[in-house]
Structure 1
Amino acid sequence: MISLIQNVLSDPKLLTSFEAYLRCDDKHYLANNLLFMEAMSQLRHENDAKNIESMLHRIYETFLAPKAKLKLNDVTTRQQVYDDIHALSWCILSNEDAAEILKETEQQVLDTLTTKLEDFTRAKNLNTLHPSPSSADSCSTHSDTPSIKDRKIRVMIIGGGFTGFTVASILDRMPVFHVTLIDTKDSFEYTPGIVKRIVHPDRSSTMRVRHDTYVKNGKVIIGYAEDIGNDAHSVRVNDKTIFFDYLVMATGSSYTSELKSTDVSSIYRLSGLDQVNSELVKAKRVLIVGGGLVGCELAAEIASSTFPGKYPKKQVTVVESHDTLLSRSDRSQQSKALSYLTDDLGVEVVCNERIIDIMDGGTGSRYIGSSGREYNGYDKVFIATGTRPHSGLLLKATNDPLLDTCVDGWGHIRVKPTLQIEHWKYDHLFAGGDVTNVIEEKTGYAATLAGVCIARNICRLVKGKPPLRQGTKGTLPAPDKPLHGIMATQGQQKDKLKSVKKHLRFLNPSWAALKRYDEKQYLQMVQGETSSTPTFGRLPRRLTLPNIQHHVTAPSPAAVFN
């Protein structure tokens, strides 16, 4: 039954249907059991010790604490988990240690879900939840498998951020392709709305688009890609092997804070952001570590807002390790940002200061700066620096030849100007967005441009044409001047820019304008369904099966969906 539950958790349609079924019995909060299992999967795949500890505390506060928002009513382990967490509060926990603390709770939740899944299966008249061996993505060698000449070209996308979202949105609409999107969460998250969602949740949308609303002809798998093999033509995910013709690594990066998330469920994610907002509302003093684009935007939003409660105005401090804010921009933009934050909004900005240690005490954490200054007494702290590129899949892949040489010393994937991964043997592997070594301001806007370029290059390779260097023949170059440069020319867009720049005048104009839209409008832009929007470059022409004579590698006799 555990494997059946895993099948539900990995399929967005089944997951949504099962969750709705559980919510029919609201008084028992049964759907929260499902969210707990998703949180446990996330915990098991986290390797950073600091994140593991915060994730463990979040799981307790969310599901087990006396005032938990997503309370589990059918478990008897609350006090034991609380005692175990506090007994190990001075230890460095591994994900195995954290999972062990929650082991008995997880078993009780699993027992509840097992019973409900059996009821759900009968109610929906589902004979089995096991995948069919002849499914479109299995590449089995049964007699009903399409011939190599006629079958669709398989595009595997790992990561559902801006790059993955863009490539999938474009290629899934073309009959020639079968797109498989693997992501750790069930939805694309529109990160330009995160800061607004934290500060003003009442004015924000859900920020998420479920992957299966734009991957309609292919397949979405919720899970963690674990290995690449078979001469770099297969991915292992959820104990299954799936073959592909083209691979797009769009795994992105993460902060050690709430600004980016791998939360599977929108509900779990929004509950976490609601908690952040609650902490922010109660705070008198706020510390933001990092004076880059995100840190400055966050500081501006908080300092310019009026909150309910005891502290309507917040005392905000920004600590930046460089000698100026927005270190990758030019001096003019840096000066504007500093003046806006300090003179207009009263934010304290401390440059040339690196946080070198964090000390926990009875009155809260103390952040020790390289100057010797202690930053204490802050009620809420945001870490807006230290992004980690998610390139681990290439580093640990067992493929022969190895793929770890494609990752540089900073953990970024090396790519060619065509966004093909730099490897001496393979030209069918692509990467885009935060995970790459492209010199650019790492924003969703830049990742979208990369996605358009990758989609066009896959189409060109299918047609037997050479791939394009990003920035040529209608593709837009990576924005290497992060806070100025690409200006929209459409009248309507200029009006939007003027409105945005009144509040966030230091932002890249095109990226700032995207904050005026929500996730659904952004999807329409990427799919070319609206004209009065920021341009992302020329989209590829629609490809259909009868016109394509593309050679693809046949799967080996052992290429079954294990």
Structure 2
Amino acid sequence: MQLFVCICKYYSFFISLSFFFFKKKKKMKNIVIVGGGFAGTQVAKALEKQLVKLKDEECRIILVEKKTHFYHSIAGLRCAVVDWDKKVMIPYTNLFQEKKNTVVQASAMQLEKHQVVLDKAVPEFGTTIPYDYLVITTGTRYPAPAKATALDYDTTHADLSNIRQQVKAAKSIVIVGGGPVGLELAGEIHDVYPSTKITIVHTEPEILSDVPKVRTRMLDLLKKNGIELVTNDSVMIPSSVQETLYHPQNNVVETEGGKCFQDVDLVMLAFGNRPETDWLKSAGVLAENGYVKVKDTYQVDHADFSHVLVMGDAADFKETKLAYRITGHVPTVVQNIVQMAVKNQSPTGKYKKAPDAMVITFGQSQGVGLLPFFGITVGSWPVSLVKSKNLFLGQSWDTLNQKEPS
């Protein structure tokens, strides 16, 4: 009898041990976010917080970003005249608080139905990352210094230093493009080098066509600061120009409209905002304008990609492409991902356009703005109070769980 009991205990122990080692583990669900700009970092942080709150153990977040540092582009233009490089470049090392979540430094080259193809092999995944759900947050590209093109801190710092040297040496600068970027760039340069002659050449008949309510205030600001504005014309840029700023031959700049500017030391390009979506061309998800076709649930509008969402500047929503709109996208995107990935439900959150708003700085103490309520326009003092001094830097350092340098 004792022998029988021993055999039973041994058998029971063996079965338990076998179950422990050979039981099938639940497969982790990969939620991949492609793009580590404002949209990517904000949705990554908010999603992680929500998954922790729900005590979810089956989902992990993988952020795919080609750069080693987040570039706070809102302050990028100030780097043309002031060395704020350590302020605008923030490492991704502390973005995630949960160890299972990770940042992968690579470029997405192609979107397939259940995996993203990368430009290089990375630890754990190789050249492809499988996903159950994916969020496209690759945004738009723009000439430096508004956005950075280099992939690491040292190269970006060298590029910005080179821009600063050229701006400092110039006595006359032509800025090509009179949108918010061109206007803010003019303001930053004038703030530090008030004696530099600045000319803005804009292709449209009027500046700020998307927000005409602030146009009069901005025109007054340009006149007050001695900035020359040429509208309904375009600069004849040599085909050999590959950089976002160049020295014109013989210091002469000509326009399509027949104007000729003499003694110009430097031309800076501040136009050409384009969606960063080339990697999606083969997937068939792009509209004719290059932005991603999107449903009101933020899902990509394609039968094969209902498990893929898009937000931020890359999405083909009929709204201005400005960073402030992302805060309106994030809660709904997180809600929909949780419904699909955790609750196995169809997404119910719907896109709702936020009220139009815009704050354009002109150096550290001037600017114009359109507030998101009642269409109220404001001038330099409110703009300086809200944005001009620190350009929202603290918000990005908080998002990436880092301490802002003094």
**Greater shift after overlay, 169-178 or 274-283?**
169-178
The answer to whether residue 312 in structure 2 is matched with residue 433 in structure 1 is: yes
CA apart distance, 1:420? 1.4
CA apart distance, 1:523? 4.4
- In the alignment, which residue of structure 2 is the partner of 1:245? 132
Higher strand share: 2
CA distance in 2 between partners of 1:478 and 1:266 (Å): 34
- In the alignment, which residue of structure 2 is the partner of 1:200? 82
CA distance in 2 between partners of 1:283 and 1:145 (Å): 70
- Deviation by residue 1:496-540 (Cα, 9 ceiling, x = unmatched): x98x933857xxx97x37944325x4343698xxxxxxxxxxxxx
- In the alignment, which residue of structure 1 is the partner of 2:124? none
Residue of 144, 159, 164 corresponding to 1:272: 159
Identity rate of aligned residues, in percent?
Answer: 24
Residue of 230, 236, 249 corresponding to 1:350: 230
The answer to whether residue 48 in structure 2 is matched with residue 172 in structure 1 is: yes
- In the alignment, which residue of structure 2 is the partner of 1:140? none
Letter of the 1:340 counterpart: L
- In the alignment, which residue of structure 2 is the partner of 1:378? 264
Map 1:385-396 to 2 at 5 A.
385-396=271-282
Residue of 86, 90, 104 corresponding to 1:209: 90
**Greater shift after overlay, 407-416 or 374-383?**
374-383
- In the alignment, which residue of structure 1 is the partner of 2:347? 466
- In the alignment, which residue of structure 2 is the partner of 1:93? none
Q: 1:287 to 1:504 in 2, by over 3 A?
A: farther
Letter of the 1:434 counterpart: D
CA distance in 1 between partners of 2:335 and 2:166 (Å): 44
The answer to whether residue 30 in structure 2 is matched with residue 147 in structure 1 is: no
- In the alignment, which residue of structure 2 is the partner of 1:78? none
CA distance in 2 between partners of 1:264 and 1:252 (Å): 16
CA distance in 2 between partners of 1:372 and 1:224 (Å): 43
The answer as to whether partners of 1:160 and 1:250 remain within 8 angstroms in 2 is: yes
The answer as to whether partners of 2:35 and 2:138 remain within 8 angstroms in 1 is: yes
The answer to whether residue 400 in structure 2 is matched with residue 522 in structure 1 is: no
| TM norm structure 2 | 0.76
Map 1:85-100 to 2 at 5 A.
none
CA distance in 2 between partners of 1:415 and 1:513 (Å): 34
Residue of 66, 71, 83 corresponding to 1:189: 71
SS at match of 2:289: coil
Letter of the 2:333 counterpart: I
CA distance in 1 between partners of 2:171 and 2:296 (Å): 47
Q: Which has the larger radius of gyration?
A: 2
Map 1:34-433 to 2 at 5 A.
147-148=25-26, 151-173=27-49, 174-175=51-52, 176=56, 177-201=59-83, 205-216=86-97, 217=99, 218-229=101-112, 232-237=113-118, 238-239=120-121, 240-306=127-193, 313-330=195-212, 332-342=213-223, 344-358=224-238, 363=249, 366-396=252-282, 403-404=283-284, 406-433=285-312
Q: Which has the higher contact order (CA 8 A, sep 6+)?
A: 2
Q: 1:209 to 1:501 in 2, by over 3 A?
A: same
CA apart distance, 1:145? 10
SS at match of 1:172: helix
The answer as to whether partners of 1:359 and 1:365 remain within 8 angstroms in 2 is: no
CA distance in 2 between partners of 1:364 and 1:153 (Å): 60
Letter of the 2:307 counterpart: H
The answer as to whether partners of 2:74 and 2:391 remain within 8 angstroms in 1 is: no
Letter of the 2:161 counterpart: D
Q: 1:318 to 1:258 in 2, by over 3 A?
A: same
Q: 1:367 to 1:256 in 2, by over 3 A?
A: farther
**Greater shift after overlay, 477-486 or 380-389?**
477-486
Q: 1:269 to 1:417 in 2, by over 3 A?
A: same
- Deviation by residue 1:397-439 (Cα, 9 ceiling, x = unmatched): xxxxxx21x2111211111122211112432111122222212
